[in-house]
Homo-oligomer: A and B are copies of this chain.
Amino acid sequence: MKDKFYQYIQTLQDTITSKLEEIDGKAKFQEDIWKRPEGGGGRTRVIENGSVFEKGGVNISGVHGPLPKAMQSYFKVDDVDFFACGLSLVLHPENPMVPTVHANWRYFEMYDKSGEIVDSWFGGGQDLTPYYLFEEDAAHFHKVCKTSCDHHHPDFYSTYKKKCDEYFYNAHRGEARGIGGLFFDYCRKTDDMSMQDWYDFVTEVGDSFLEAYVPIVERRKELPYNQNHRDWQEVRRGRYVEFNLVHDKGTLFGLKTNGRIESILMSLPPRVQWKYDHHPKPESPEEKLVKVLKKPVEWQ
């Protein structure tokens, strides 16, 4: 399973980065192959200063070895070996009318001393962070999420949509990071779902990513915008940074377990502003967004 899934994310990285380069038309992904001293490594691909994408990364990694101490206490296990691989992507478009997107699909195995798998699970999801809300875009993104889910279980969409709203939440601001999508974790073998069933589910979600995001980019990338729109985008990107550095478990894990810093922090936006006590004007498009972030919407 681990080889099959790692093969899958390698191919998916190629598919996604080719399509994004085609859409951007100007910038190319820069590739960095890195090795982890304790075992494994990754292939980081970053795009910067494109005509559509101001900054973005589509990274894969596959790491293994003794489970780091910080993760032992998190998972409440002893000194075991592990394997983890996944694809993580974040895209920060230049045009404030185009939403930021994040996605991650991952697979984890733990072994006993004889090398037998004692636990394994899939996790992942994808979520959208608009700066200006086009309801049509949010509905489209969630529709693609729902279609992938519905092929596997009637409850998956509603369950994982809710988990996404709960997870990507800036508690200190009382608002969601964006308009959500899917978030699932610890997807283990059950009576209903074999690991192959989970693989089929996760890869269908992964395969649907471009269908979920690209039409939105195509619709919005040529829309006009001014400095006020851009300022608002940069202020909202500040909230993105706050979430990733204060709340996101993946980021904090990476920072505390000696991950490759530049691959982890590629998720941070290129240009960000913090203004003191900034509030959008009543009845403005900016306020409309914030209202939705304060109270999750059922988009499907």
| Chain A residues proximal to chain B, CB less than 8 Å | 30, 32, 46, 48, 55, 57, 171-173, 234, 238, 241-242, 245-246, 252, 255-256, 261-262, 265-266, 268-277
Contact = CB atoms under 8 A, between A and B. Distances in A.
- By Cβ-Cβ distance, the 4 closest A-B pairs, closest first, are A245-B245, A268-B274, A172-B255, A262-B277
A269 B262 contact: no
Contact of A172 (B57, B171, B246, B261): B261
Contact of A268 (B48, B234, B238, B261): B238
A276 B271 contact: no
B273 A270 contact: yes
Given A262-B277, A272-B274, A277-B262, A241 B246 contact: no
Given A262-B277, A273-B271, A275-B48, A252 B245 contact: no
A269 B276 CA distance: 10
A44 to B, nearest CB: 8
A241 B272 CA distance: 11
A194 to B, nearest CB: 38
Given A55-B274, A55-B275, 15 more contacts: A46-B276, A46-B277, A48-B275, A171-B255, A172-B261, A234-B271, A238-B272, A242-B245, A246-B246, A246-B255, A262-B277, A270-B274, A270-B275, A271-B273, A272-B272
Nearest to A237: B272
A273 B265 CA distance: 12
A269 B277 CA distance: 13
A246 B270 CA distance: 19
A124 to B, nearest CB: 23
15 contacts: A46-B277, A48-B276, A55-B274, A55-B275, A57-B276, A241-B245, A242-B245, A245-B245, A245-B246, A246-B252, A246-B255, A262-B276, A262-B277, A271-B271, A271-B273
